[in-house]
Amino acid sequence: MSFLEPIVKLSNAVNSINEKYMALTYQEQSDLTIFGRLRYYNWTFEAWALGAVALVYATYLFGTRVNKSRASQLFQALAKGFEDLAFAKIGFSTNTAKNELFVAENNNTWFTSFVTGRACIESITVRAHLLARFNPMSILMEKVLGLFFSSLVADALDEFVEVTIVPNGVYVTSSAADLPKETNASANVVSKFKFISSIVNKGDMTKAREDNYFLSLTHTSESEKLPFEYVFMSESNQLSSIFEHYGGPEFKQLLSRCAHFLSYVAFTDLPEEKPVTDKLWERSQQPRCIIKTKMVTGSVDLASLNELIKAVVNIFDSASQEYAQNPAKAFVTNDMLRKSANLRSQELAKIAKVMKQAERDLLQEKKQDQEREKRRDLRSKMSGEEQDRLEQKMREKRERRQRNRQKVRM
């Protein structure tokens, strides 16, 4: 009962607040007017309760507004960069004439923006995740749980920005030029980006590999072509050079400026989560580049993030131009793509093998269930003596199997 003592004491303290009022007789309470009761009654508990509700509401307003303010700063800065890149549509359409630059979800903890309408780039999706500042107790509890069960709450405690750039393979010489007449030309260009090549911050290397299936298939290598804070994680060393080939020495300098907030920049066509079926494997393949960073604030860091996005878009522009106009001079050769295709064939074969094993296990389990059901039906039709004889036979059968196993071991 010792653990209940604080609760009992608290309950008694709350009840004692109006002990004087509750001591009045029924007649004395009836003689009091409404205003008399209001003055005589001790409203301390109710005042504290209303104060607590007001504090919770104020904390909610403060937390959601802080998150929205940080998101507005981020997306407004990125919108200027998207305008410089000549995207036709930035944000989401609404019933009014003005577009929404971003949408907020889950009490202003998730924010999403979207741009499209440009040669070589199908779309850019920007997602930002912020802490649930409207619920500080939840943050505190998650941090405490994170000390013991880090895998359960890691995502909820991370603030990050994820930019996904998807190519469309449509290259035009100018904004006034007509679209290519060949319908398969753009699909052929997009297929040239089916490889994995990434630059990963050393501090986030382990987590990035654990969280992203496509990075788990890569080899890690350090290089003088990168700032000290980064490593290459690519299918092959040849593919790692794509950043220097198209980005030049300026890309290395840009990486240095982004080192304190950039987690990774990765070209890939495979999904973040490992597919468990061949159908999911086929549906989840999409060439793209993913830029993941910590939550970026401050004009200098936002300018660096904009430069990084522009650099990746320029890589898609330059590569798409080469594939469309002079494929023989493209950096990613058919030999590199064949090696990438072989890796995907091997991974698909592993998935198919697991699927077949799962099907065999399911059939075996179903067969065992049918046999058990058949035995139950058979026993229900037997007399008591017949059931005893059947159980004796089953027991002897199990004993023979046990003896045979022992002989084999000897």
Report phi then psi at 117, rounded to 5. Answer: 90, 65
- List, in order, residues 6 or more apart from 296 with CB less than 8 Å away: 74, 161, 261, 302, 305
Query: What pLDDT, on a 0 to 100 scale, did the predictor assign at position 219?
Result: 93
Helix (H) or strand (E) holding 313: helix 299-325
Count Cβ neighbours within 10 Å for each residue of 360-382 and write b for 16 or more, e otherwise: eeeeeeeeeeeeeeeeeeeeeee
Instruction: Inform me whether the pLDDT recorded for 403 exceeds 80.
Output: no
Cβ-contact 329, 192 below 8 angstroms:
no
Query: What pLDDT, on a 0 to 100 scale, did the predictor assign at position 372?
Result: 79
Instruction: Inform me whether the pLDDT recorded for 34 exceeds 60.
Output: yes
Query: What pLDDT, on a 0 to 100 scale, did the predictor assign at position 255?
Result: 96
190, with CB counted inside 10 A (0-12, 13-18, 19+), is buried
pLDDT in tens, 43-71: 777 788 899 999 999 999 999 999 999 99
Query: What pLDDT, on a 0 to 100 scale, did the predictor assign at position 47?
Result: 83
Domain residue extents for the chain: 2-42, 69-332, 353-409
Instruction: Inform me whether the pLDDT recorded for 19 exceeds 80.
Output: no
Other beta carbons within 10 Å of 171: 24
Q: Please name the residue ranges forming H helices in 173-298.
A: 183-191, 205-211, 237-240, 242-247, 249-257, 278-283
pLDDT in tens, 247-291: 999 999 999 999 999 999 999 999 999 998 888 888 889 999 999
pLDDT in tens, 183-240: 678 888 999 999 999 999 999 999 999 999 999 999 999 999 999 999 999 999 999 9
Q: What is the DSSP letter of 100?
A: B
- List, in order, residues 6 or more apart from 42 with CB less than 8 Å away: 17, 18, 20, 21
Query: What pLDDT, on a 0 to 100 scale, did the predictor assign at position 182?
Result: 65
Average pLDDT over residues 313-333: 90
